[in-house]
Amino acid sequence: MVDPTDGGVERFGPHGALGVVLVHEVFGRDDYVRSVAAALERAGYAAAAVDLYDGRYARTLDEAFALRGALTDDHVLARLDDARRTLAGRVAPGGRVGTLGFGMGGGYALLAACRSPFGFCVDYYGRIERADEVAGLTGPVLVILGGEDERITPWAFGELLPAAVRAQRHVAVELYPHVRSAFHRPGWEGHHAGTAEAAWRRTLAFLGDVREGREASLK
């Protein structure tokens, strides 16, 4: 079930055991993002797919980079926090609302979890500028990485994980060999169907652990 878009948020599912604020990658909120939201709904979770580009989406990388360049952290984080509040009333009693994003959206999902009271985060190959911001996390994080991603994977191991150790925050990394960034996106040149399926199973297992309280809040 898809609710109408409201304030840049497209809602999937009337309720759920958890709420997931879904953040699109650099191309915008498109059918790929909606397919992920629908998969979350089928798994029993309420999802809110945020549109950071106000109805626009990119057909080329140049268009995507131009749209991304017009964003500000304050605008993005305010929109994600609005989505968090929207979902808070759609989850079961005691359920948590977290973030999930891909690429650019993975970085914003992680940044939002560092700065706002989200209960968990799943970051598919996204990064934040200051890794030490993980000290602000109040819930567990799962980071999905490609072994051939020469930008995000070295950052995750060289900066993110050491910062998580210093802050004593729960950050789990799942590294998939022989794939690049954006391997989850169908139709992309680096897409790998088998790895995408494995990463999604790992994502659902993580969400299941959060739902059952096996991935405890850091508070």
pLDDT per residue as tens digits for the range 9-61:
776 666 778 999 999 999 999 999 999 999 999 999 999 999 999 888 888 88
Instruction: Read off the pLDDT of residues 83-123 as tens digits, 9 standing for 90 and up.
Output: 999 899 888 888 899 999 999 999 999 999 999 999 999 99
What six digits make up the tokens of 59? 């057909």
C-alpha dist (Å) from residue 18 to 38, 87, 101, 132? 14, 9, 16, 27
State pTM to two decimals.
Answer: 0.92
User: In the chain, what are the domains?
Assistant: 9-211 (3.40.50.1820)
What six digits make up the tokens of 196? 């995408």
Instruction: Read off the pLDDT of residues 119-157 as tens digits, 9 standing for 90 and up.
Output: 999 999 999 999 999 999 999 999 999 999 999 999 999
